[in-house]
Every structure is written in structure tokens, then in C-alpha cells.
Amino acid sequence: MITLSVIKADIGSYVGHSQVHPDLIEIAKKELKKSKFLIDFYVTNCGDDLELIMTHTKGRDNKQVHGLAWDVFMKCTEHAKKLKLYGAGQDILATAFSGNVKGMGPGVAELEFEERKSEPVIVFLADKTAPCYMNLPMFRMFADPFCTAGLVIDPKVHVGFKFEIYDIKEAKKIMLNSPEEMYDILALIGITSRYVIKNVFKKDGEPAATVSAEKLSIMAGEYVGKDDPVAIVRCQSGLPAVGEVLEPFSFPHLVPGFMRGSHHGPIMPVSNKDSHPRRFDGPPRVVALGFQLCNGKLIGPVDMFDDPSFDRARQMSNEISDYMRRHGPFQPHLLGEDELEYTTLPEVLKKMDKRFVKLPESESRSFKKIQK
Ligand code: F6R
Ligand code: MG
Ligand code: MG
């Protein structure tokens, strides 16, 4: 069995929250090279997030693998502090490593599987958004026949998939089958502030896709930047084809994130070299790196959105950004109240608490439930 581990953290960037400094990428490469147990690795960034893409045979949630990632992030933080990079050590929320980086700041997406005769995988890296940004594209890849022709045409894909959905407010999860329970799946994952697709499986239990679901603000109890998730999707031969996995990104759907993690904006599919959110700290970006696995070796990457067929999505994303930006500080550009809970806005609102006075009974009745 091979494990593909993608572990990421924002440990400082330049200029502002824009992009990872090349020194940090070099340090991470140097550190990972020293490892005795990694089969292969690839280090890159998406905006201000440093991504470690690693293969090994140690399984998911492995202490050594997570410990290695933790050490890399600590080394990089040290250098980021030396250069006075912005937000140096930003996502390192815990003071010491305790066996698993989950719940300590970094984001984690890991899949363990038997490598097939040929194993194409796509690693999605995002910046200035939250794990729920993948709800719509994941649903379209694995459940929407208007996106994935294989759901109609290919008997192996036609049977559908299983979705594991997390309720991040209650820390609960549920497994639902598609197409049988498609409307139930949608009833949950449309509420992106609460429900997140964490894993997708084939009906026989074979893992197909995973998203890092860590919520930084919930862990820290305050605003500390967006989660900027990573995801892994296996493709072809009984799974959605590479083109079916990329197709959802031809539509730049609205996601939470953007400036101060407090605004809705269109996700922009970009090449690795364009993954530096700049306009209004955005628009939110997604990069797709394609690899062929060969006995755990990462053959690639191919920069999948570095293609003119995504030009129109990028153009639409710019147009939608213009439209959304003209709302300024108003909803729905500004996030909903429950999602703003962990931003810096409550601090501002609190100052006015004492100045509010109760409405007289005659008026307040208009805002209360009628007692029968
Ligand atoms: C969003 C993000 C940025 C910052 C913004 C303010 O995820 O990281 O939009 O929220 O640049 O940053 P501070 O508060 O560090 O000045
Ligand atoms: Mg940052
Ligand atoms: Mg980021």
C-alpha cells in the first residue's frame, strides 16, 4: 500500500499574505531530502501556503510523517522570522508536536491505496478560501452526470460513489450514497458554513478523494487567516477521468475567503506560477497538480490549469470579482453572520453593545413570534 500525504501550512509569506518566499521552499526540500522513509516528495506553494506532497508506506496519520512535516514547518518558521516575512509561523498554533499535526494548525489530506497498473492523481492546492470550497466541485466530479459523462456511460463509474460528510460545528460525520441519496447529500453540502465533504469512496470502499478539513479559526478560537485546503483526487479506470475532475473548475463558483477571510469571491483556477492572490488579497485561487505514481515515485507534476481552456473561467472570475467588489462592505460580498464569528468583526461590533437600547414593547412585538 502507498500513502500520499499532502501537508500544508502558512508559515510566513511576502509581500503580506501574497506568496511563499523561495528560501522556504528550498529549506523544505533540503529537510525532506534527509528523510529515510519517504519514497518521493514534491514541495511547492499556493499563495502564502507551503505544501509538502509526500509518498511513503507508513499509512495515514503516521507519527513519523507528521513529525517530519512539523519539523520542516518549524525550520521554515525560523527562517521566515529571520527575514521578517509576514505572518511568520502563522499556522503553527501548538507549542509542541504531539504525534499528529491535525488540530495543531497545518492542513492534512492523505490517501492510502494499492497503486494501480497506472495511477493518475490530481493534488488541488487552494489559497484564500475554506475546505467547503470543494463541496461543489467534488459533488460535480463524483455525482453530477452533466459534469462526469462516465456516470452515464461507464458501467464501473455508473454505480456511483459514497460521500463522507463532516458536520464541523458538531464534530460529527455521515456516510451517504450517490446516486441513491443524492438529494440528501445536496441538502447537507449546500450549507457550506457547516457541512464539508471530507472523503469520497468507491462503492466497494476503495478511497477516491480526500480534502483537508481543518478549521484554523475554530482551533485558535480567533481569526488566524483562512484554512486554504489541499485535496487529492484519484482519476481514471473506474474513477472520473482527469478531464471530468477538472471540468467543475470551468465555473468559478463563489467561495468564502478573499480579503480578511470575510468575503465571498469567485474561485480562480490558475497555474502554479499565478497562485499569488493580489487583488483584494484574492480572488481565491486553486492550482491542480497532476502526477502519475510509479511505485510511489511522483512522476510530474503537470500544471493542469496552465491551459487556455481555463482562460474563460479566469476571465469570468475577474468579472465576478468586479461585481462582488462593488458591494463593498455589504452582504452577500461580506460573509454571513455565523461565518463572521471568527473574524475580527465581532471586536468592532462589541464596542457598540452598550449603546443599544431596547425597543418599546409596541415596536418590539413586530420582531417576536406571535403567542397563540
Ligand atoms: C486572508 C488573508 C488576508 C489577511 C489580510 C489582513 O486569508 O490572509 O486577506 O486577512 O491581509 O491581514 P493582517 O490582519 O495580518 O493585516
Ligand atoms: Mg498568510
Ligand atoms: Mg493562505
Cα dihedral sign for 61, 65, 68, 73? negative
| Shortest-distance ligand to the CA of residue 279 | 1
260 lines ligand 1 (CB under 6 A): yes
Catalytic residues: 10, 223, 226
Structural domains of the chain, ranges and CATH numbers in brackets: 1-108 (3.30.70.100), 114-372 (no CATH)
The structure's pTM equals: 0.96
Cα gap 101→87, rounded to integer Å: 19
Cα gap 117→196, rounded to integer Å: 31
* Segment (H or E) for 338: helix 337-340
Atom of ligand 1 nearest to the CA of 228: 7
| Shortest-distance ligand to the CA of residue 228 | 3
281 lines ligand 1 (CB under 6 A): yes
Cα gap 99→87, rounded to integer Å: 25
Q: What per-residue confidence (pLDDT) applies to 344? A: 86
Atom of ligand 1 nearest to the CA of 86: 15
State yes or no: cis peptide before 155, omega within 30 of 0: no
10 Å Cβ neighbour count for 112? 18
Ligand 3 centroid to 256 CA: how many Å?
13
**Cα atoms in the 13 Å half-sphere on the side-chain side of 146:** 2
* Segment 110-162, tens digit of pLDDT: 999 999 999 999 999 999 999 999 999 999 999 999 999 999 999 999 999 99
Contact 125, 275 (CB under 8 A): yes
| Shortest-distance ligand to the CA of residue 46 | 3
Task: Indicate the burial class of 296 (C-beta count within 10 angstroms; 0-12, 13-18, 19 or more).
Answer: middle
DSSP one-letter code for 336 = P
198 lines ligand 1 (CB under 6 A): no
10 Å Cβ neighbour count for 328? 8
285 lines ligand 1 (CB under 6 A): no
* Segment 42-68, tens digit of pLDDT: 999 999 999 999 999 999 999 999 999
- In the block, residue with C-alpha cell 529537510: 31
* Segment 294-308, tens digit of pLDDT: 999 999 999 999 999
Cα–Cα nearest to 48, from 71, 70, 73, 16: 16
Which of 15, 17, 49, 344 has most ligand 1 atoms within 8 Å of CB, for mutation? 17
Cα gap 311→269, rounded to integer Å: 9
Please determine, for residue 235, whether its predicted confidence score (pLDDT) is greater than 70.
yes
Atom of ligand 1 nearest to the CA of 48: 8
What are the counts of helices (DSSP H) followed by strands (DSSP E) for the chain? 12, 15
